[in-house]
């Protein structure tokens, strides 16, 4: 007896043979006199560019099946085409999403009930669009274009998700169907086009008047400078300004010590009368309990928050490199509520106009934006140590047996939920799951405590509403060096005005500023970054700035022709012997370009 497949092939040959077709035609002729005869070669209308003069066996099989069904209704029609359709998506995991296509590119809020009804009526909404977890972002976009082809013009669009009544843009980098499903969960998907899809001459829009003026923002310089790429006051700046204006006339007194900045700040936060919206009065006390300076006029608050950020950067609350920190899980810190106080101090720093930490990782920011399901940490987010070494070994491994042995031998892998791997194609998912367990799920209590601290200052909702602007405050962004930035960064140490030495220093300083301007214009062999490295040892300005102000000094009473630098004291020492700019420039280029052997201390 042959196998099932052999029997099926034999039956197919019989049913599609010309002899069998003739037998069926003769049998049908007495029952269906109006039905045209079946032939192994049936003429059908010819489609452009396709030769269809001969019907393939599969089509003949379908015709015969239909004829038999007419004579014997109890016998179902063949389902060959449906089986093919199912087979084409075999191995893919589908999910369905309610999708709304927004008409206006400036829309920032979710649709209300009546607006949703109109969207469905006009074709701008679909109740159950089928997507697949294995699809990449390009495939998802292409499918959505086809779904909305009747109303979507030839323009690109962004993916958004609803968060507290507002629309939050979804980062499309490394996005796929699986992550999109995890981010949205039960929420609908919004599509926002880059151009308006409708034009209405009568729609002049609405504008909500505010009392804020440019003069008002002059009193809040740090907030005004958050968006360097525009001179206009955008909606994010205005909303942050409005939040700042909620600060009351009540005062919270901070008596802090530089040597124990976090503990002394917590004493103020733990008072029953504390409110993050109170005005701040910061008083620094040294180790001899002597007060430093007057009650806060702005500078002491900035210094306190800077010192707190510096403490957090190196504390046991965070782990990772200085440009991408994740929260740790420390039971003592959790019981002391320190993750909460950390989030609260960061929120207060932004609330009172002194900026953010600038060292939060993308994974931690994703938690604040999307929740724990939206986190997608990778190996770089895992703390240095045994686990990271194991993950790198797994990443380089291409043998499923070796991977299985690692799972069995290493508890840190098995506790992540994996006890068996059946195919090497599962390796990437295995690594991703292990990273998420150790960076996110295991640390969840600390994450939620940190988030609560931010919410106490009403900062968290701004992350949902303005993710790009808030990311620039939380995450590290390398500052582009410019002439203005370099001039602002270094403070010259000058002799008294009118002295002979001051006259020399003015001439040298002028040559130096011309040198910096030429470096910015790429007219020289050295760059602004080369000057920064020569003086500080850093390629970029650190997220929290330098611990002390870099200075410019002058090499008086010497015949030295090259610049010198002290990377520990952050001092750039300029030669004074050159009487013209060209000689100064040439020797600066040589000295900085050979900084490994000249001038560094």
pLDDT tens-digit readout, 571-584: 999 999 998 999 99
Task: Name the CA dihedral angle for 425, 426, 428, 434, rounded to a multiple of 10 degrees.
Answer: -170
Domain with CATH 3.10.20.90 in the chain: 94-193
Q: What is the rounded distance in angstroms from the CA atom of residue 189 to the CA atom of residue 172? A: 13
Pick the CATH number of 483-596 from 3.30.390.10, 3.30.2410.10, 3.40.50.880, 3.40.50.300: 3.30.2410.10
Mean pLDDT computed over 139-162: 89
Q: What is the rounded distance in angstroms from the CA atom of residue 128 to the CA atom of residue 98? A: 5
Other Cβ atoms less than 10 A from the Cβ of 365: the count is: 19
Domain with CATH 3.30.2410.10 in the chain: 483-596
Cβ-contact 57, 78 below 8 angstroms: no
Mean pLDDT computed over 408-418: 91
What is the widest separation between alpha-carbon atoms in the chain?
Answer: 125
Residue of 308, 457, 475, 568 marked active site:
568
Find the range with the poorest average confidence among 48-57, 208-217, 401-410.
Answer: 208-217
pLDDT at 241 over 50: yes
The residue that leads in pLDDT, 140 or 567, is 140
Q: 235-376+444-474, superfamily in CATH?
A: Hect, E3 ligase catalytic domains (3.90.1750.10)
pLDDT at 230 over 50: no
Other Cβ atoms less than 10 A from the Cβ of 291: the count is: 11
C-alpha 201: how far from chain center: 37
The residue that leads in pLDDT, 315 or 549, is 315
- Burial letters for 500-517: b for 16+ Cβ neighbours within 10 Å, e otherwise? eeeeebebbeebbeebbe
Q: Are strands 564-566 and 189-193 parallel, antiparallel or unpaired?
A: unpaired
Confidence of residue 93 (pLDDT cuts 50, 70, 90): confident
Confidence of residue 66 (pLDDT cuts 50, 70, 90): low
As given in the structure block, the two tokens for residue 529 are 């970054």
pLDDT at 42 over 70: no
Of 491, 495, 542, the C-alpha closest to 512 is 491
Which tens digits make up the pLDDT trace of 500-548?
999 999 999 999 999 999 999 888 889 998 898 888 777 667 645 676 7
Rounded percentage of the chain residues whose pLDDT exceeds 70? 74
Task: Name the CA dihedral angle for 35, 37, 42, 45, rounded to a multiple of 10 degrees.
Answer: -30
Rounded percentage of the chain residues whose pLDDT exceeds 90? 44
As given in the structure block, the two tokens for residue 245 are 């204006």
Q: Where are the alpha helices (DSSP H) in 219-325?
A: 221-224, 235-244, 261-269, 299-314
Q: What is the rounded distance in angstroms from the CA atom of residue 376 to the CA atom of residue 371? A: 11
As given in the structure block, the two tokens for residue 238 are 């205005």
Mean pLDDT computed over 167-190: 83
Confidence of residue 307 (pLDDT cuts 50, 70, 90): confident
The residue that leads in pLDDT, 375 or 27, is 375
Provide the 8-state DSSP code for 376.
Answer: -
- Whether residue 568 lies in the annotated active site: yes
Task: Name the CA dihedral angle for 427, 428, 433, 438, rounded to a multiple of 10 degrees.
Answer: 100
Which tens digits make up the pLDDT trace of 540-559?
676 456 767 889 999 998 89
Q: What is the rounded distance in angstroms from the CA atom of residue 432 to the CA atom of residue 178? A: 12
Q: What is the rounded distance in angstroms from the CA atom of residue 33 to the CA atom of residue 461? A: 75
Confidence of residue 105 (pLDDT cuts 50, 70, 90): confident
As given in the structure block, the two tokens for residue 444 are 């969840």
Domain 94-193 carries which CATH code?
Answer: 3.10.20.90
Whole-model pTM: value is 0.53
Which tens digits make up the pLDDT trace of 354-363?
778 989 999 9
The residue that leads in pLDDT, 364 or 68, is 364
Q: Which residues pair with 319 in a beta bridge?
A: 326
Of 523, 520, 493, the C-alpha closest to 508 is 493
pLDDT at 470 over 50: yes
Cβ-contact 565, 535 below 8 angstroms: yes
């Amino acid at each position: 007896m042959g196998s099932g497949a052999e029997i099926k092939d034999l039956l197919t040959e019989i049913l599609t043979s010309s002899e069998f077709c003739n037998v069926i035609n003769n049998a049908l002729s007495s029952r269906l006199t109006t039905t045209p005869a079946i032939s192994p070669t049936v003429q059908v209308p010819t489609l452009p560019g396709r030769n269809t003069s001969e019907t393939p066996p599969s089509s003949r099989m379908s015709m015969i099946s239909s004829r038999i069904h007419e004579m014997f209704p109890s016998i179902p029609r063949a389902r060959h085409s449906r089986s093919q359709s199912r087979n084409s998506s075999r191995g893919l995991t589908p999910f369905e999403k309610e999708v709304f296509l927004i008409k206006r590119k400036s829309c920032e809020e979710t649709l209300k009930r009546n607006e949703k009804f109109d969207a469905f009526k006009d074709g701008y909404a679909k109740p159950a669009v089928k997507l697949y977890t294995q699809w990449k972002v390009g495939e998802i976009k292409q499918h959505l274009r086809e779904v909305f082809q009747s109303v979507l013009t030839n323009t690109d669009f962004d993916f958004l998700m609803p968060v507290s009544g507002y629309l939050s843009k979804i980062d499309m980098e490394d996005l796929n169907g699986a992550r999109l499903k995890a981010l949205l969960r039960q929420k609908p998907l919004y599509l926002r086009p880059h151009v308006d899809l409708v034009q209405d001459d009568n729609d002049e829009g609405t504008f909500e008047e505010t009392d804020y003026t440019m003069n008002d923002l002059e009193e809040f310089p740090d907030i005004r400078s958050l968006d360097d790429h525009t001179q206009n006051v955008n909606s994010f700046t205005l909303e942050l300004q409005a939040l700042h204006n909620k600060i009351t006339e009540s005062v919270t007194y901070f008596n802090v010590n530089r040597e124990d900045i976090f503990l002394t700040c917590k004493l103020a936060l733990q008072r029953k009368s504390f409110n993050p919206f109170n005005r701040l009065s910061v008083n620094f006390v040294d180790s001899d309990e002597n007060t430093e300076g007057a009650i806060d006029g702005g500078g002491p608050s900035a210094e306190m928050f800077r010192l707190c950020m510096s403490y957090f950067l190196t504390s046991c609350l965070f782990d990772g490199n200085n440009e991408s920190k994740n929260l740790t899980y420390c039971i003592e810190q959790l019981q002391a509520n320190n993750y909460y106080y950390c989030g609260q101090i960061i929120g207060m720093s932004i609330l009172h106009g002194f900026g953010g930490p600038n060292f939060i990782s993308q994974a931690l920011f994703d938690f604040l934006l999307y929740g724990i399901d939206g986190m997608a940490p990778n190996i770089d987010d895992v703390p240095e140590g045994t686990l990271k070494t194991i993950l790198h070994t797994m990443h380089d491994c291409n043998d499923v047996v070796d991977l299985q042995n690692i799972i069995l031998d290493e508890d840190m892998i098995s506790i992540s939920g994996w006890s068996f791997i059946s195919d090497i194609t599962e390796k990437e998912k295995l690594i991703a799951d292990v990273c998420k367990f150790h960076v996110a799920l295991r640390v969840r209590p600390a994450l939620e405590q940190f988030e609560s601290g931010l919410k106490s200052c009403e900062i968290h909702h701004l992350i949902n509403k303005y993710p790009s602007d808030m990311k620039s405050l939380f995450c590290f962004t390398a500052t582009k060096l410019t002439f203005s930035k370099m001039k602002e960064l270094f403070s010259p140490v000058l002799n008294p005005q009118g002295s002979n030495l001051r006259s020399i220093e003015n001439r040298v300083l002028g040559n130096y500023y011309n040198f910096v301007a030429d470096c910015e214009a790429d007219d020289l062999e050295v760059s602004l970054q080369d000057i920064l490295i020569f003086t500080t040892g850093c390629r970029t300005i650190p997220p929290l700035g330098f611990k002390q102000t870099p200075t410019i000094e002058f090499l008086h009473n010497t015949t030295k022709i090259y610049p010198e630098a002290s990377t520990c004291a952050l001092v750039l020492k300029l030669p004074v012997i050159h009487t013209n700019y060209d000689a100064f420039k040439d020797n600066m280029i040589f000295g900085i370009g050979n900084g490994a052997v000249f001038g560094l201390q």
